[in-house]
Structure 1
Amino acid sequence: MTDAAASSAVLVARAKRLATRMRGERQTAIVPAGNVAGRALTTVIAIMTFLAALTVGTVSLVSDTASRWQNDISDEVTVQVKPAEGIDMPTALETARQIALQTPGVTGASILDQAATSRLLEPWLGDNIDFDALPVPRLVIVSIDTNDPPNFAFMREELKEAVPEAELDDHRAWVSRLVTMARTVVLIGVFVLSLVIVATTMTVVFATRGAMSGNRHIVEVLHFVGAQSGFIAREFERHFLRLGLMGAVAGGSVAIVLFVLIGYFTEVNRQTPQADQISALFGSFTIGWTGYAGVIILIATVATLTALTSRLTVTRHLAEIDMISPVEN
């Protein structure tokens, strides 16, 4: 028996053993479970899933923050009283507070004391601020009725007449820019997420083609001895579903742990001035249940996409074999 004939006989024998799986017998899988290419693909999918999960978490955080900013502008406005020559700051602040309280649509007003003001400015001016030496404006926080907001133009006129140094700020222009920026970040995040998904799909396609090339003769012999295309495709689908699920779970889990750690350290350091500024922008810096749900959905999507992509690639390859075989015959 020649070497070529012996090799063909071995391939046919192995193909027949694999084909018996259709009758429920336990045999070796078509695609080796622990080869180097499989481990490399699992690592790539884990990295891709980690990056995608970071994108999902960031988009969720920014989206929630934008919503909170929009709610904040409907809940509160501030009256800023600037220091001037001869002004009695406590009296001016109390006058501004009383005018705000007397305005229809206002539900409450409070003066931000020197300690709170000093804390807000501590990251930039230090913790020993001399309010007599520095022209630091003072604030009155005004709560408004969101269902029946006050007439801001009327309030401005009343404040200017009673306290010329007072200025009403409804934050709408500033927050509008931040919300626009947040929505832009969300769109960019969705775009990046789409790129990661496309890159993952292409990686799986190339990995499947590589596995097909490495097992080409076995697959072709299996196909010729009667194994149905669906059976062969399911073998590859199960193999790549396992790889995709392992990689996606690993990458998503690392991302979730990272988000939990960031939220924990932010909470622990909440009492520092820097943490106050971060909390003012991003709240507690946690992605919330929607972010975690998004990561879990992403894990399932990546695993499913990996399996379906491999199945479609194998099915297409077997269809090409069927088209070539009649021509060769």
Structure 2
Amino acid sequence: MSRSGDEHGALMDLGHDTPQVPAKARNTSPIVPRGSIAGRALVAVVAIMTFLASITTGAVLLISASASEWQSEVASEITIQVKPMGGRDLERDTLAVADAVRAQPGIVEVRPYTKAESASLLEPWLGTGLSLDDLPVPRVIIARVSPGTALDIAGLRNRVTQAVPNSSVDDHRAWIERMRSMTSATVLAGLGILALVIIATIISVSFATRGAMAANRPIVEVLHFVGAGDRFIANRFFRHFLRLGLQGGVIGGGAAMLAFGFSESVASWFSGTPVGDQFAALLGTFSLRPSGYFALAVQAALIAGITAWASRRTLFSTLNDID
């Protein structure tokens, strides 16, 4: 009896001496491996898609802002042409038309071009050293309209033609309409590219999710065996893919922001040169506004959310197949 009690006490001491595993150390490895090859590939795919989407969005914002500036500048100016006619003094006709335009309500500035200035306007097409005495080159007058003023174009045309019959008024409406059409087409093309990028992202995430579920099928079956529900398992995979989407979004969006910042620096370096002036005339200063960078950040977060949403939908459908 004593021997049995001693053996029992020894067993009890052995059990007491068994090292206890801390609670935090019992579950240190996640259900879904974080550093898998498929996970890194998905981060790369999301980063590339985010970069392409950000470049497209930034380009659309640049073109839209530049087009708005062009339209506002052109809409604030009116061009009057005074054509030479036999028996009439072109200089006197130009001054008469300028005075008539100044009398029109809503006009704040009138600038008639001299003969030398008119010749300089034709130099890019006709070259230098060309005498314009024998050519019927019209004299140009630029009039600026007060901002927010609804100018009476018909009344201005009547006033100008009464002063000089061989004069015409151009308010650039046709050019502005073509510019608006081009801007709208650019925006639609950008939206189409963004839609394709989002579709490609959803397809990539769906395949990656199914692959991760297939690789971890034994773990999913064990979790089902111990009583874990589909929502518990889906949340673990959902957090995993949300993390991957955020990583890819930050990398792709950050790279796009750096690219636009670098392009702005390059544009400032070439400022004042013929190439820089051409780019400035086409795309302004080639720099995004703070609202543009904010839009790129929101877009990166949106793509990360789309990644998580696509994975969640795929998760439940795959769990139903496993069940």
TM-score range relative to shorter protein: 0.7 to 0.9
Give the 3 Å change call, closer, same or farther, for CA 45–25 of structure 1 in structure 2. Answer: same
Paired position in structure 1 for 2:51: 50
CA contact (8 A) 1:58 1:287 kept: no
Paired position in structure 2 for 1:242: 243
Paired position in structure 1 for 2:195: 194
CA deviation after TM superposition for structure 1 residue 284, in Å: 2.1
CA deviation after TM superposition for structure 1 residue 103, in Å: 1.2
Paired position in structure 1 for 2:18: none
Query: CA-to-partner distance for each residue in 1:139-171, whole Å, 9 max, x for gaps?
Result: 322111344433222322333344455332100
Question: 2: CA distance between counterparts of 1:299 and 1:120?
Answer: 46
CA deviation after TM superposition for structure 1 residue 101, in Å: 0.9
Aligned counterparts, 1:199-238, within 5 A:
199-238=200-239
- What are structure 2's unaligned runs of at least 5 residues? 1-21
CA deviation after TM superposition for structure 1 residue 112, in Å: 4.8
Matched residue type, 1:261:
F
Question: 2: CA distance between counterparts of 1:129 and 1:39?
Answer: 65
Quick check: which has more Rg, 1 or 2? 2
Question: Percent identity of the aligned residues?
Answer: 43
Using the TM superposition, name which of 162-171 and 76-85 deviates more: 76-85
Query: CA-to-partner distance for each residue in 1:29-49, whole Å, 9 max, x for gaps?
Result: 222222222221111111111
Matched residue type, 1:34:
G
Query: CA-to-partner distance for each residue in 1:92-147, whole Å, 9 max, x for gaps?
Result: 54433322111122121123567876776666556x46463676655322111344
CA contact (8 A) 1:60 1:290 kept: no
CA deviation after TM superposition for structure 1 residue 212, in Å: 0.9
Question: 2: CA distance between counterparts of 1:83 and 1:265?
Answer: 46
Give the 3 Å change call, closer, same or farther, for CA 217–265 of structure 1 in structure 2. Answer: same
Q: Is 1:286 matched with 2:287?
A: yes
> TM-score under structure 2 normalisation?
0.79
- What are structure 1's unaligned runs of at least 5 residues? 1-19, 323-329
Matched residue type, 1:293:
F
When the two chains are superposed, the root-mean-square deviation of aligned CA atoms in Å is: 3.1
Matched residue type, 1:142:
A
Using the TM superposition, name which of 109-118 and 199-208 deviates more: 109-118
Paired position in structure 2 for 1:151: 152
3-state DSSP of counterpart to 1:149: coil
Paired position in structure 2 for 1:297: 298
Paired position in structure 1 for 2:172: 171
> TM-score under structure 1 normalisation?
0.78
Equivalent residues, number: 301
CA deviation after TM superposition for structure 1 residue 277, in Å: 4.3
Paired position in structure 2 for 1:38: 39
Matched residue type, 1:56:
T
Aligned counterparts, 1:58-73, within 5 A:
58-73=59-74
Question: 2: CA distance between counterparts of 1:85 and 1:36?
Answer: 83
CA contact (8 A) 1:259 1:287 kept: yes
Matched residue type, 1:132:
L
CA deviation after TM superposition for structure 1 residue 90, in Å: 5.3
Paired position in structure 2 for 1:132: 132
Q: Is 1:181 matched with 2:182?
A: yes
Matched residue type, 2:208:
A
